[in-house]
Amino acid sequence: MKPVIYLRIASILTLIHAVLHTVGGVFGKPVSGQAAMIAASMRTRFEVFGVMRSYADFYRGMGLGITIALTMDAAVLWVLASMARSDSARLRPILAVFCVGYIAFTLNSLTFFFSGPVIAEILIVLCIGAAIVTARSRDVREEVDANAELKVARS
């Protein structure tokens, strides 16, 4: 497959990850037996840099921040897929940064969360890695296309 397809898949997986993170992680409700204990500890308010906040404020704010970052990643991966049509090899450094970032994201999720985000992030890493491996420069692609045309013409 071509890097464009891998990057489109990574983009869609990242957007799905953002949506599920928002629905389940940010706005999801804890199990009823735990809800009262969690709610009590999360409501405690304290002053931070002159503003009164609670742990719930920080939890929701950081959760939405992750949703925003995942959505931006999905958009950037989609744009990179479009750019990969012409000279995908030039995108390798950017894709490597995304790959390393999502490996770190995966390790974080493996350490502190559960299998759902870990699986999504591993799939994203694999797609970005596959895009890096299959990326070719314009010159190489033109040479491969020319050779393919010659083979067809000889047949």
**pLDDT tens-digit series, residues 35-66:** 777 777 788 889 999 999 998 898 889 999 99
What 8-state DSSP symbol labels residue 49? T
Cα distances (angstroms) measured from residue 135 to each of 16, 141, 144, 145, 147: 25, 9, 13, 15, 18
CA-nearest of 118, 121, 134 to 81 is 134
Give the pLDDT confidence score for residue 134 in this predicted structure: 95
The amino acid present at 15, given as its one-letter code, is L
Q: Per-residue confidence at 27, pLDDT binned at 50, 70, 90?
A: confident
Higher pLDDT: 27 or 124? It is: 124
Give the pLDDT confidence score for residue 44 in this predicted structure: 86
pLDDT tens string 65-110: 999 999 999 999 999 999 999 889 999 999 999 999 999 999 999 9
Q: Report the domain count for the chain.
A: 1
pTM across the whole model: 0.83
Q: What is the DSSP string of 88-109?
A: GGGGHHHHHHHHHHHHHHHHHH
Higher pLDDT: 124 or 55? It is: 124
Domain that holds residue 60: 3-154
Give the pLDDT confidence score for residue 92 in this predicted structure: 97
Place of tokens 């970005």: 128
CA-nearest of 29, 31, 33 to 56 is 29
